Structure 1
């Protein structure tokens, strides 16, 4: 039985801890804050409950696998996961609206044809067929296997089968999401639909490789899910699974250093000077925190994927509304920015001056557990903002003012919720600084999923490090950010520790 120290109680770290405990190891999780879940947090006030992190669950099979492998119980024995239908309602810049069915290609094609005109749905459907090919080519190396030693194969090959496009007497193929939108989808509304999937992960569609087509494909193929009571309930279930398998948690305990002995990780040092010996150390922390606690022990050798730091974060506004949620309301509405170019310049280019109107995701769950009674509604608004703002004095919007940022989101949301301001009881704002406080990520940066192509700049470092016994887990290491990826990260680290370097992933 090995002694394993886990730094951080995020979702990936807990997933790994549960699997390692089932394998017979003694696992202790050290978390500097007073709770578990990492970015999967919640807020409660006056009988209202809100998710302040992810609000929906893609690819729930990852978490179903965790519960089966750590106790032969279905996930549904611990939480109620339900499909969201429609998957999303989109309100485009020109006022056009489209409600897209959940996990139904034929339904989505029909809905887009009706909303955007004949042929629009077919173009989107054809794109999904090509996106599936990209998914099939990258699923195992980017989700289910440890990062390949010859990772440059993933970096140099574009798996998306782009359609040849003739332009200025030249034949070209789309290499970015923006080019897919312009050359293959050929409708600014379809392009906005596509790009919103990248923007939600803090990715710039102008530079994000075409391989990111897997993001809308995952939603289409596996559906969009919600956990009753909020996504915080999933974090609770994973935490309780860890406890049931004997994992020990020490909250309010900060790790200040990874201890090295005879050339390998041998434990951790805690604030106050206490040392805890371990045979393996698993770090589920952001790159800057890892640099601080592990120093050179976590450095990547020449030729390995370096640590990646995201440029984007998230601004979230929690709304307590008087009046019942209208029947037939979509769970998720995406209100697209009126000026796409201005938004991208504001988020990714550091454009000076007032911030552009953002693309806003509006979540309106039909869940009695979130409100004090049937005469109220709990709504969550979110938008992508630059991560660097989190480093300043609690900035919350692209103009550096949390109140102004909240106003931007509320104004945009009125396109989806008529009479919003008249129903508003109060609101709370969660800024990049709040994310930084919860996760330790500099500037409140939010990690994106690993993606192929683009020279490897959207890959994440391997879970193993150059120091024997030291591993990394969670959104800042392979396979990157997002709830499914966090769960797979935990599975990969557990496999590498239990089976050793010969581990090749789930079968």
Structure 2
């Protein structure tokens, strides 16, 4: 039985802790804040309750597997999973809209043909077939196995089978998601639909590789799910699974240093000077935070290592308390597309970043009595991708988001009791990431720019977990990283992922 110190109580760290405890190890989690879950938080006021991190769960099989491998109670015995249908309603800049059924290619094709005109659905359906091929080609090495030592194979090989595009005398294939949208979908609304998936994950579709086609494919193939009571309930369930497996939690405990002995990790030192010895250390923190904790040895040895990602955007969240109940038949998720996508992308991803005047806004309207004081009220959450860092005043952008949301929520202003704004600074406080940056999921191609550093490090016995290491950001990816780290510790370097 090994002693294992886990730094941080984010979802990836919790997933690793539960699996390691079940394997017979003595696990202690040190979290600098007063609660668990990382970015998966809840905000409450006047009987209203809101998720301030992710609001929907793609690929729930990752957490089903976690509960299966760590005890007899399945995930559905601990939380109520609800499949969201339609998966999303999209309101485009030209005034058209489309509601897309959940996990139904035929249904999506029909809905897009009806909303956008004959042929639109077929082009989207053909795109999904190619996206599935990209998924089949990259799934295991990208998500389910430790990062290959020869990871450059993933960096150089584009798994998306782009359609040849003739332009003047040349034949080209799309190399970016924006080129896939322009050359294969050939409709500005379908382009907005595709590119909104990248933007929601903090990626610029103009530079994101074509392999980012995986992002809408995951929604299509595995469905979009909601956890009754909010996504915070998923964090609670994973935390309780850890506690049931005798994982020790120490909250309000900031780790300042990773201890080393004989060239390997040997424990952690806390801000008050206390020391906790360990045989392994698992760090679920952002790269720059970890670098400050390790002295004398490079966390990344530089020999063929993927560089940590920096400069990613953040999220602005506006929480709306509305009088009046949620109307029957309301879509759970509506995406209100910007009328000037190029200006939005320039503002979010420019150097330096600018002010987002007309953001793409995701409107979440859960049908969940647990979130409101009574049936005569509704809790609505708005989110937009924004530059990371501290802005002088997010008020104008929040107002722009509310204005955009009026397209999805008729009479919103008249129903509004109050609103609360959660900024990148709040994300930074919850996660410790500089400027509240949010890590993107790992993607193949693009020279490895969107891969993440391996879960092993240049310090033997020190492992990294969560969105800032392989396989990247997002709730499913965090759960996968926990499984990979547990496998590497339990089985050793020969571990090659679950079969």
Normalising by structure 1, report the TM-score. Answer: 0.97
CA contact (8 A) 1:133 1:160 kept: yes
Counterparts in 2 of 1:147-166, with a 5 A limit? 147-166=147-166
User: Shift of residue 262 of structure 1?
Assistant: 0.1
Whole-angstrom distance in 2 between the partners of 1:3 and 1:505: 23
State yes or no: 1:355 paired with 2:356.
Answer: yes
CA contact (8 A) 1:310 1:446 kept: no
CA contact (8 A) 1:154 1:452 kept: yes
User: Shift of residue 297 of structure 1?
Assistant: 4.2
User: Shift of residue 354 of structure 1?
Assistant: 4.8
CA contact (8 A) 1:339 1:356 kept: no
Counterparts in 2 of 1:85-124, with a 5 A limit? 85-124=85-124
Q: 2:473 aligns with which of 443, 467, 481?
A: 481
State yes or no: 1:62 paired with 2:54.
Answer: no
Whole-angstrom distance in 2 between the partners of 1:421 and 1:298: 51
User: Shift of residue 306 of structure 1?
Assistant: 1.3
User: Shift of residue 157 of structure 1?
Assistant: 0.5
Residue 287 of structure 1: aligned partner: 287
Counterparts in 2 of 1:327-406, with a 5 A limit? 327-350=328-351, 354-387=355-388, 390=389, 392=390, 395=391, 400-406=392-398
Whole-angstrom distance in 2 between the partners of 1:353 and 1:234: 35
Cα gap change, 1:147 to 1:99, in 2 (>3 Å): same
Residue 188 of structure 1: aligned partner: 188
Deviations 1:2-21 (A, max 9, x none): 00000000000000000000
CA contact (8 A) 2:317 2:382 kept: yes
Counterparts in 2 of 1:403-422, with a 5 A limit? 403-422=395-414
Deviations 1:118-149 (A, max 9, x none): 00000000000000000001110111100000
Cα gap change, 1:293 to 1:351, in 2 (>3 Å): closer
CA contact (8 A) 1:310 1:448 kept: no
Whole-angstrom distance in 1 between the partners of 2:25 and 2:483: 15
SS where residue 259 of structure 1 aligns?
A: strand
Cα gap change, 1:350 to 1:337, in 2 (>3 Å): farther
Residue 2 of structure 1: aligned partner: 2
Cα gap change, 1:104 to 1:352, in 2 (>3 Å): closer
User: Shift of residue 350 of structure 1?
Assistant: 4.2
State yes or no: 1:81 paired with 2:81.
Answer: yes
User: Shift of residue 351 of structure 1?
Assistant: 6.6
Whole-angstrom distance in 2 between the partners of 1:286 and 1:363: 28
Structure 1 unpaired stretches of 5+:
none
Whole-angstrom distance in 2 between the partners of 1:464 and 1:408: 43
Whole-angstrom distance in 2 between the partners of 1:241 and 1:408: 41
Q: Relative to structure 2, which stretch is displaced further, 294-303 or 150-159?
A: 294-303
Whole-angstrom distance in 1 between the partners of 2:305 and 2:430: 29
Residue 143 of structure 2: aligned partner: 143
SS where residue 357 of structure 2 aligns?
A: coil
CA contact (8 A) 1:479 1:489 kept: yes
SS where residue 444 of structure 2 aligns?
A: coil
Instruction: Figure out how many residues of one structure are paired with residues of the other and give that number.
Output: 498
Whole-angstrom distance in 1 between the partners of 2:458 and 2:442: 21
Residue 497 of structure 1: aligned partner: 489
Residue 230 of structure 1: aligned partner: 230
CA contact (8 A) 2:353 2:387 kept: no
Whole-angstrom distance in 2 between the partners of 1:293 and 1:132: 41
Q: 2:454 aligns with which of 455, 462, 468?
A: 462
State yes or no: 1:445 paired with 2:429.
Answer: no
Normalising by structure 2, report the TM-score. Answer: 0.99
CA contact (8 A) 1:12 1:475 kept: yes
Whole-angstrom distance in 1 between the partners of 2:354 and 2:492: 53
User: Shift of residue 355 of structure 1?
Assistant: 2.8
Whole-angstrom distance in 1 between the partners of 2:44 and 2:37: 16
State yes or no: 1:506 paired with 2:485.
Answer: no
User: Shift of residue 67 of structure 1?
Assistant: 0.2
User: Shift of residue 299 of structure 1?
Assistant: 2.5
CA contact (8 A) 1:113 1:119 kept: yes
User: Shift of residue 404 of structure 1?
Assistant: 1.2
Whole-angstrom distance in 2 between the partners of 1:224 and 1:471: 31
User: Shift of residue 454 of structure 1?
Assistant: 0.2
Structure 2 unpaired stretches of 5+:
none
Deviations 1:281-317 (A, max 9, x none): 0000011111111243412322111111242100000
SS where residue 108 of structure 1 aligns?
A: helix
User: Shift of residue 344 of structure 1?
Assistant: 0.6
SS where residue 294 of structure 2 aligns?
A: helix
CA contact (8 A) 2:8 2:284 kept: yes
CA contact (8 A) 1:300 1:306 kept: no
Q: Relative to structure 2, which stretch is displaced further, 300-309 or 160-169?
A: 300-309
Structure 1 segments, 4+ long, off by >4 Å, are 350-354
SS where residue 298 of structure 1 aligns?
A: coil
Residue 17 of structure 1: aligned partner: 17
Deviations 1:225-261 (A, max 9, x none): 0000000000000000000000000000000000000
Q: Relative to structure 2, which stretch is displaced further, 299-308 or 322-331?
A: 299-308
Cα gap change, 1:495 to 1:335, in 2 (>3 Å): same
CA contact (8 A) 2:88 2:333 kept: yes
Deviations 1:157-188 (A, max 9, x none): 00000000000210000000000000000000
